[in-house]
Amino acid sequence: MEHEMRAEYAEGAGPGAPVKIWHMVRRETATAMCGRELSPDAETRTAEVWGTPEGEPFCHTCGALYLREVP
Ligand SMILES: [Zn+2]
């Protein structure tokens, strides 16, 4: 399963605004693993950034689910 990180912004904000929290999504989708609907325009990051300062703050629910899918 291919994953990537997708940004959630503050209410009404979009790409370019400070990232409120990062979620994990399955590649090419805009629904986070925790169920949150994210903007298809939101910034994405490779899943390799997960767990590094660049990937913070990160959604804890997504983190737990991601750990279960990735060995
Ligand atoms: Zn999430």
SS3 string, the chain, reads CCEEEEEEECCCCCECECEEEEEEEECCCCEECCCCECCCCCCEEEHHHCCCHHHCCECHHHHHHHHHHCC
What are residue 29's phi and psi, to 5 degrees? -120, 165
pTM: 0.91
61 Cα–ligand 1 center, Å: 5
Instruction: Please give the chain's pLDDT, 71 residues, in tens.
Output: 699 999 999 988 988 899 999 999 998 899 999 999 999 999 999 999 999 999 999 999 999 999 998 87
46 Cα–ligand 1 center, Å: 15
Those residues whose beta carbon sits under 5 angstroms from the ion ligand 1 are: 23, 32, 34, 59, 62
Q: How many CB atoms lie within 10 A of CB 50?
A: 21
Structure tokens at 32: 């986070």
